[in-house]
Amino acid sequence: MKVSFPYMGSAIVYKKLFEFLEHEVIMPPKPSQRTMDLGVKYSPEFACIPLKMVMGTYLEAIEKGAKVLVTSGGHGPCRAGFYGDTHRNILKSLGYDDVEIIIFDAPQDNWRAFFRNVQKIRNGVPWHKVINRMYTLYRFVQKLDELEKMVQKIRPYEVNKGQTTQIWNQIQEKFDKIKTRKQLYKVYEECKQMLLNIPTREVDEKDRIKVGIVGEIYVVMESSINFGIEEILGNLGVEVERSLYLFEWINDNLVPWILRPKRFKEIIKKGQRYIKILIGGHAVETVGHIIDFKERGFDGIVHLMPFACLPELVTQSLIPKISKEVDIPILSLPIDEQTGKANMLTRIEAFVDLLRNRKRGKTKEVFIDNIQEHVQEERVVMV
Amino acid sequence: MKEIYIGVDVGSVSTNVVAIDRNVNVLFKTYIRTNGQPIDSVKEGVKQLKETLGDVEVLGVGTTGSGRQLAAAILGADVVKNEITAHATATIHFVPDVRTIFEIGGQDSKIIIIKDQMVVDFAMNTVCAAGTGSFLDHQAERLKIPIEQFGDLALSATRPVRIAGRCTVFAESDMIAKQQFGFSKAEIIRGLCDALVRNYLNNVGRGKNLEAPFVFQGGVAANMGIRAAFERELQTKIIVPEHFNVMGAIGSAILAKDYIEKTKARTNFRGFDAADIDFSTSSFECKGCSNRCEVVKVSMDGKVIAMWGDRCGKWTNSL
């Protein structure tokens, strides 16, 4: 089967999944302006940006020859649960009758449908091989996420601007070639060393700024739609951690309940202090992570929300209260098809200024002092 | 020879250039319409500065606003800073006990919350521009009233009229409806000012604790109608600083001054000849990797002097 899937975050993981199931994989292109144009053109106007970008991705994948599109469905009341069906209807209306969409809804909602889908994509690969390879993939995701977390901690202090990102790109290429578990561990060690070899500046612990990124999964994970926020913050000298990593998502959603790490339950519990019921769109998780980041000593939160996403709007309206009670600055950024970066940069820079001020103490002298440091950073960007 | 620091704020609607001395006395200020030509307006501003002040020694240059990178490349700036920090810096200098700054510009409107002379919170209009100067501009044009007379006309109204303020499209149809009812232009404009202020406080100020003293700045602060609407809504006096429409530029000049004084660095300023140099910008899509960044390239007399927009630094670092 010529299989493709939505592009989100480190898409090589999904590619690996289907390679392990011996499919012919059509790698969807990284979302670009063209993806957006296509998606916006063929999606309902009121839909949020993830639906549109995924629509565009599907159309580009079909252009490259994809016949089967595999995607996740929804769980709970967020309308993302309808997106698979919406995409299917749109494709049908465009005349792609031969393209099949396989939607994986949360297994606990309907085990039978889940296994039917698994049978479909298993592609006749014997079960013992499937299990063995899925375990390899599980470790693959884990190692890739570990490296990405390192990237996010090294980037703000790199001496040569852009080097960490370049190495991260190389790492992803290396991972793309991995076939076995043995290779995986070997490549992982190599890549780790590559990252550790990046020359960095010594920065005092009290001058380190840490920002947590929370919000709806697509806009948090997919850098092409969030202006590359992790890199922007990293280049401003800020350490970043996301609320969502694929490995954790797999643990939280796909690993059988008894084997799940406790962390996820704790996050939900923290979130339920403010949102009692599940309203989808990672709203409860977002709030839970805000509190969690604060407890772990982070300095600020960037909250990414797709424009017109209802669960995120609920979160946004709670944010002033949370920010005050938990005492952490939170910047909400709505994300839609606009590409004007200036406005976004202004907010992010001002937010980082604010965080530095808070951290360093509250005098005017400090206010000036940290600006200089920042100026130098910006001048590097400026040539 | 006078020693000065230059501050430049390149916004979507206006480009402001100021010169301050060591004690932050404003020696020169100009407010030029950007008209979509930021390079020309920056050159024009600097040229005016030179003509007005004569022989000066420039000790430092700061830029801010959405065109800050471009302006910095043209002039050779020492400090490139976002407009929220720049506005706060200037306001704290002129009104040291300020707690809340209302800043309404052409495209963006902001609220900045200050405590102990430090920015503790801020907000900007999110996706729509219904609470900004462009909205007023557009309505003035539609009613065929010069924007300069807009405020005075609003003040002359005797009856309040309620206009829907959430969105320009709704506001416009509501205004037309009220015109059909027989309300005068003055009354409708007053209603529009009220609507804009209501919308701004509701939208941008959502969830913020707004505390006096309030300072109102940005181009729209010239509008007496809006000022009055703010005072009606907040039931208190709001301060409009003397240099209300160039505060961002003053702030960036102060930041440049502080930076130079503290580091004793020499300025990168290109000199006043920059106004005669031919600058041009272009952009291209880098195909080096799947990111497909849009890279902006600034050339001076045909030679590339600055590039930005590439996420990996391939082009930025190539100079």
Cβ contacts of A165 on chain B, cutoff 8 Å: 311-313
- With beta carbons less than 8 A apart as the criterion, state whether B100 and B46 touch: no
167-196 in A: which are within 8 Å (CB) of B? 169
B257-260 contacts, C-beta under 8 A, 24 or more apart: B257/B5, B257/B20, B257/B22, B257/B24, B257/B59, B257/B60, B258/A368, B258/A371, B258/A372, B259/A371, B259/A372, B259/A375, B259/B60, B259/B62, B259/B78, B259/B79, B260/B5, B260/B59, B260/B60, B260/B78
Using CA atoms, how far residue B252 sits from A78, A351, A355, B38, B209, in Å, is 45, 17, 20, 17, 27
Asked if A357 and B289 come within 8 Å (Cβ–Cβ), the reply is no
Residue B274 class from Cβ within 10 Å (0-12 exposed, 13-18 middle, 19+ buried)? middle
Could you count the other beta carbons within 10 Å of the beta carbon of residue A269?
A: 12
Residue B144, CB-side half-sphere exposure with 13 Å CA sphere: 0
SS3 labels along A15-65: HHHHHHCCCEECCCCCCCHHHHHHHHHCCCCCCCHHHHHHHHHHHHHHHCC
pLDDT in tens, A236-278: 899 999 998 988 888 877 777 677 778 888 888 899 989 888 8
Asked if B120 and A358 come within 8 Å (Cβ–Cβ), the reply is yes
What pLDDT is recorded for position B168?
72
Site of tokens 């940069």 = A345
Six token digits for residue A167:
């190495």
What pLDDT is recorded for position B128?
65
> How large a percentage of chain B has pLDDT more than 70?
96
Cβ contacts of A382 on chain B, cutoff 8 Å: 69, 72-73, 80, 306, 308
Six token digits for residue B97:
């006990």
What pLDDT is recorded for position A304?
93
Residue A157 class from Cβ within 10 Å (0-12 exposed, 13-18 middle, 19+ buried)? middle
What pLDDT is recorded for position B127?
61
- With beta carbons less than 8 A apart as the criterion, state whether B197 and B226 touch: yes
Asked if A381 and B79 come within 8 Å (Cβ–Cβ), the reply is no
What pLDDT is recorded for position A61?
94
Could you count the other beta carbons within 10 Å of the beta carbon of residue A176?
A: 15
Q: How sure is the predictor about A69, in pLDDT bands with cuts at 50, 70 and 90?
A: very high
Gap from A226 CA to chain B (nearest CA, Å): 12
Range A54-75 average pLDDT: 90
Say whether A153 sits in a helix, a strand or coil: helix
Closest CA to A167 of A141, A193, A186: A193
- With beta carbons less than 8 A apart as the criterion, state whether B259 and A372 touch: yes
Cβ contacts of B290 on chain A, cutoff 8 Å: 29-30
220-239 in B: which are within 8 Å (CB) of A? none
How many Å apart are CA A110 and CA A116, to the nearest integer? 10
| CA quadruple A162, A168, A169, A174: dihedral sign | positive
**Residue A46: pLDDT above 90?**
no
- With beta carbons less than 8 A apart as the criterion, state whether A209 and A329 touch: no
Six token digits for residue B261:
């004084």
- The answer to whether B317 contacts chain A (CB < 8 Å) is yes
- The answer to whether B264 contacts chain A (CB < 8 Å) is no
Distance of CA A152 to the CA centre of its chain: 13
How many Å apart are CA B210 and CA B238, to the nearest integer? 12
How many Å apart are CA A303 and CA A315, to the nearest integer? 9
Q: Between B163 and A343, whose confidence is greater?
A: B163
**Residue A383: pLDDT above 70?**
no
Gap from B313 CA to chain A (nearest CA, Å): 5
Six token digits for residue B204:
């941008």
Residue B19, CB-side half-sphere exposure with 13 Å CA sphere: 20
Q: How sure is the predictor about A235, in pLDDT bands with cuts at 50, 70 and 90?
A: confident
Complex ipTM tops 0.95: no
- What is the residue-averaged pLDDT of chain B? 87
Task: Lay out the sheet containing B79-80: strands in order across.
Answer: B26-33, B14-20, B2-10, B56-64, B79-80
First and final C-alpha spacing in chain B: 35
- The answer to whether B311 contacts chain A (CB < 8 Å) is yes
- The answer to whether B287 contacts chain A (CB < 8 Å) is no
CA angle B4, B7, B12 (to 5 degrees): 160
- The answer to whether A161 contacts chain B (CB < 8 Å) is yes
Could you count the other beta carbons within 10 Å of the beta carbon of residue A275?
A: 19
Six token digits for residue A183:
């290779």
Task: List, in order, residues 6 or more apart from B27 with CB less than 8 Å away.
Answer: B2, B4, B19, B20, B21, B53
Task: List, in order, residues 6 or more apart from A371 with CB less than 8 Å away.
Answer: A353, B79, B81, B85, B255, B258, B259
Range B197-203 average pLDDT: 86
Q: How sure is the predictor about B310, in pLDDT bands with cuts at 50, 70 and 90?
A: confident
H helical segments located in A211-309? 217-221, 229-235, 246-253, 262-271, 283-295
From A162, A345, A381, residue closest to B314, measured CB to CB: A162
Type of residue at B36: G
How many Å apart are CA B3 and CA A367, to the nearest integer? 24
- The answer to whether B149 contacts chain A (CB < 8 Å) is no
Using CA atoms, how far residue B108 sits from A277, A305, B222, B255, B309, in Å, is 36, 20, 16, 22, 22
What pLDDT is recorded for position A76?
67
| Nearest C-alpha in B relative to A320 | B207
Closest CA to A14 of A87, A104, A74: A104
Q: How sure is the predictor about B130, in pLDDT bands with cuts at 50, 70 and 90?
A: low
Type of residue at A203: V
Q: Between A300 and A253, whose confidence is greater?
A: A300
pLDDT in tens, B247-274: 999 999 999 999 998 888 888 898 888 7
Rg, chain B, Cα only: 21
Asked if B82 and A353 come within 8 Å (Cβ–Cβ), the reply is yes
Ramachandran class of B10: left when φ > 0, alpha when ψ lies in -120 to 50, beta otherwise: beta
Range A94-98 average pLDDT: 91
- The answer to whether A42 contacts chain B (CB < 8 Å) is no
pLDDT in tens, A3-39: 999 999 888 999 999 999 999 999 999 898 889 999 9
Site of tokens 């919350």 = B113
What pLDDT is recorded for position B306?
78
- Is cis: bond before B213, omega within 30 of 0? yes
Asked if A364 and B92 come within 8 Å (Cβ–Cβ), the reply is yes
